[in-house]
Amino acid sequence: MPELPEVETIVRGLRKTVAGKTITKVHVNAPHSLIQVSDSFGSKSFADVLQKRRIIQVDRRGKNILIALNGDITLWVHLKMTGRFVHIEYNHPVNKHDLVIFDFKSTCTNRIRYHLRFNDYRRFGRLRLFHNDELWLQKALANLGPEPLEISRDEFISLCRGRTRMIKPALLDQTFLAGLGNIYTDEALYAARIHPRKITSTISRKKLYELHGHIQRLLRKAIRLMGTTVDSFSDLDGRAGRFQKYLLVYGREGMPCTRCGTTIIRKKIGSRSAHFCPRCQRLRSRNTIH
């Protein structure tokens, strides 16, 4: 699933390509589960609501993409596992996984017409339309935790020390901290030498200080490199991310640790897997929850 750096890459691409443009037509070839239109729009369809709307701005909140439209309306997008946006020439053949296509009003400066496609071969992504006054009442947005790149060191330490949870599941919980997933959580815990089962309330302030710094450092680096591509992620132009070249534990099960040579292992912790070095990230039995 795309995490904060990948979603931020898409958001920046949308700002460059479609912000300020007016939608002229929307073609929908998506299952009902992918599209949601608030009841406040009455009987209007997804395409009807979007037609003739201008894209005011594009923002990110956690792993969510928020596309603000004129008329105090927001198109809320979650990419889920394999959703992606593609900015492509109008005449390019339509793929069977291009589930929603947005056409835009042409401008005199653009001789080649482009449109925006939402492509999702696993069809888990979500596109939802809400009036702004009801958007932040939606549970999935209202309950989001702080942004990893905005939370201060002291706030992060207080957040962790105030809970009694294993650190890996806590960091993956979007109500705890919004935007992290398996990749950057595994990498940050490895960098800080913290076992993924370590209990948040037992981690020293010094270690939490280090973890906070590593989380922000890794996220910023990943954003500069347009994210991590381990499956199908790409930016609006179809370019893969480049951060996968710098992964030290994620996806390296069975390979030697770059620090000590111990074999990297993968274990299920909570409902998710974790990659870590059992030597560099040691855990004492009293720091576990059974």
List the catalytic residues.
2-3, 63, 272
Three-class secondary structure of residue 246 per DSSP: helix
273 - beta bridge partners?
A: 268
Element (H, E) at 84: strand 84-89
How many Å from the N-terminal Cα to the C-terminal Cα in the chain?
28
Closest CA to 237 of 228, 246, 245, 226: 226
Instruction: Tell me the β-bridge partners of 276.
Output: 265
β-partners of residue 131 are 73
Q: Is 213 left (phi over 0), alpha (psi -120 to 50) or beta?
A: alpha
Residue type at 77 in one-letter notation: V
Helix ranges, the chain (H): 4-17, 46-50, 132-135, 139-142, 153-161, 167-172, 182-191, 205-224
CB-count exposure of residue 111 (10 Å: 0-12, 13-18, 19+): exposed
**Which amino acid, one-letter code, is at 62?**
G
* CA distance linking residue 53 with residue 28, whole number of Å: 16
- Report whether 233 contacts 6 (CB < 8 A): yes
SS3 172: helix
